[in-house]
Amino acid sequence: MTRQLAVICLAAGRGKRTKVSTAKVLLPLCGRTLASAALLSVAELKPARTVVVLHNQMERVQASLEKALAGAKGKPGKFASIDYVDQGTPNGTGHAVQVGMEQLLDFVGDVIVIYGDCPLMTAETLQELVDLRGESACSALTAYPVNPIGLGRILRDDEGRFVGIREQKDCSDEEAAIDETNCGFYSFDSEKLRPALARLTPNNAQGEYYITDVIADFVAQGEVLPTMEAHDIAEVQGVNSLAELSLVQSMMQERILIEHMNNGVLITDPAATWIDYDVEIGSDTKILPCTVIGSGCKIGSGCEVGPFTHLRGGTVLEDGAMLGNFVEAKNAHLAAGAKAKHLTYLGDAEVGEKANIGCGTITANYDGVNKHKTKIGARAFIGSGTVLCAPVEVEDEAMTAAGAVVRPGSHIKTRELWLGVPARYLRQRELPAAVSPPKVSPPTGEKKS
């Protein structure tokens, strides 16, 4: 019979070592926060109960987690039940788990403890850790990082049995030389954890209650505790400083980019490409260097993005759409085959199929108070240097001449050509020969003839 699973995530600390005013768990990671990334890594295990222990900047952290975990963009929340609890003055990771367990008084089963500053864990590894515990009180994850300084060291007896964890500040010289470290991921038997937590004392260099001290306590009760080495050092990298944040970001970027490349997305220079979590990209799409794609963007197949392109939240490119050099799009929807290839801002814009947005076009969406929409129809042609002061509607196959400044509230009807500053109706547009439907082509190195 599978046992019930509960998760306690520790996120109450201030994170003094980051030297920034924001609570550490709110630091950004590829479109998430450290805490939301840490929690989403356990979501797939479908815990029956989840408790998040907070204190510093609690309201902000809780609001941001509620938004991220509910799936702000319409995705259903994955957690059956989440309780947010105030640790009061944080007095160590052991104290935080004590407070978390007070929310789980009636819970019997596996309790996974994770830290809100370790965001790269995977559900597979955590499941292995849970399975590894068997009937013992606890299983723990360990690693051999290149630089173990600052981390808890794994203590073993002469037979190699796991007997304790010593924090760096409490280590003797001999213990500090141990290269096996504690990663901060544990699976506990709820029934054995409770009495061990009650026995914790703050007899250490920091005068705090450490969760790591329950290990020696279990061993004193005659427990044999299994450990497992992390498969990938990236999974267990924690963030105590901004330098470690940048390390975790680059590890996460590598993971995200490899996933897209494995799905048939051609990324010509991964080192110069930034793609957040929660971005969808279809196969046969080409992402050129110096491109930044924010969380929530959706890109179809056979598109081309970049070089030097910034896609912000809510942007959708349907199949075959292209955004090129120095183009920024925010909350823009480009239908199949639409193009804006140079020096353009598309904000709160809807662009129809095969529309062509000329170089230097700006949708001026902000009037200083509110944001407004720009609608551009299918096969419309927006001349270079056009400023569309939203709200503006340009119907199918309509056209603006180069340099047109289209005033707010303007409505350019089908096939009309507007020109000037402010732009006015000039005449009907003469359409070029019938435009063929958008073609989805796989990326190749061939030059266009």
Which residue number, 240 or 325, has a Cβ lying nearer to ligand UD1?
A: 240
Contacts with Mg ion: how many residues (CB under 5 A)? Answer: 3
Task: Count CB neighbours of 98 within 10 A.
Answer: 20
User: Which among 10-18, 216-224, 308-316, 324-332 is the span making contact with ligand UD1, rule CB under 6 A?
Assistant: 10-18
297 is a contact residue toward ligand UD1 (CB under 6 A): no
Closest distance to ligand UD1 from the beta carbon of 11 (Å): 5
φ, ψ for residue 138, nearest 5 deg: -160, 145
211 is a contact residue toward ligand UD1 (CB under 6 A): yes
Token output for 24: 């550490």
Say if residue 47 is preceded by a cis peptide, omega within 30 of 0: no
Q: Which residues, numbered 69-128, are part of the site for Mg ion (CB under 5 A)?
A: 117
Which residue number, 117 or 353, has a Cβ lying nearer to Mg ion?
A: 117
Q: Which helix (H) or strand (E) holds 50?
A: strand 49-54
Which residue number, 215 or 401, has a Cβ lying nearer to ligand UD1?
A: 215
Which residue number, 97 or 392, has a Cβ lying nearer to Mg ion?
A: 97
In angstroms, the CA 319 to CA 337 distance is 7
For 83-122, the DSSP string reads EEEE-SS---HHHHHHHHHHTTTT--SEEEEEETT-TT--
Closest distance to ligand UD1 from the beta carbon of 238 (Å): 3
Q: Which of 5, 7, 8, 11 binds ligand UD1 (CB under 6 A)?
A: 11
Q: Which helix (H) or strand (E) holds 124?
A: helix 123-133
228 DSSP β-pair partners: 141
Token output for 40: 């989403």
Q: Which of 55, 342, 372, 411 is catalytic?
A: 342
Q: Which residues contact 28 (CB under 8 A, 6 or more apart)?
A: none
* Residue sitting closest to ligand UD1 (CB): 152
Q: Which of 90, 302, 324, 337 binds ligand UD1 (CB under 6 A)?
A: 90
69 is a contact residue toward ligand UD1 (CB under 6 A): no
241 is a contact residue toward Mg ion (CB under 5 A): no
Q: Which of 32, 49, 95, 372 binds ligand UD1 (CB under 6 A)?
A: 95
**Torsion over CA: 163, 165, 171, 173 (sign):** positive
Q: Which of 240, 241, 268, 428 binds Mg ion (CB under 5 A)?
A: 240
Q: Which residue, among 258, 276, 259, 358, has the nearest Cα to 315 in the 3D structure?
A: 276
Token output for 347: 């904000």
The option from ligand UD1, Mg ion, none interacting with 13 (CB < 5 to 8 A, set by class) reads: ligand UD1
327 is a contact residue toward ligand UD1 (CB under 6 A): no
Which residue number, 212 or 365, has a Cβ lying nearer to ligand UD1?
A: 212
Q: Which of 151, 336, 404, 412 binds ligand UD1 (CB under 6 A)?
A: 151
Is there a contact between 238 and 115 (Cβ–Cβ < 8 Å)?
yes
Tokens 């547009």 sit on residue = 429
Token output for 69: 């975990």
The option from Mg ion, ligand UD1, none interacting with 343 (CB < 5 to 8 A, set by class) reads: none
The answer to whether residue 342 is catalytic is yes
Which residue number, 145 or 264, has a Cβ lying nearer to ligand UD1?
A: 145
Q: Are strands 316-317 and 304-305 parallel, antiparallel or unpaired?
A: unpaired
Q: E-assigned strands of 57-211?
A: 82-86, 110-115, 138-143, 153-156, 162-166, 181-189
Mask 100-139, x = binds ligand UD1 (CB under 6 A)? ---------------xxxx---------------------
φ, ψ for residue 417, nearest 5 deg: -115, 125
Q: Which of 64, 103, 182, 365 binds ligand UD1 (CB under 6 A)?
A: 182
The option from ligand UD1, Mg ion, none interacting with 394 (CB < 5 to 8 A, set by class) reads: none
Q: Helix crossing, 34-43 with 58-70: angle to 10°?
A: 40
319 is a contact residue toward Mg ion (CB under 5 A): no
Which residue number, 24 or 330, has a Cβ lying nearer to Mg ion?
A: 24
Active site residues: 342
Interface ranges with ligand UD1 (CB under 6 A)? 10-13, 25, 53, 87, 90-93, 95-96, 115-118, 151-152, 165, 167, 181-184, 210-212, 238, 240
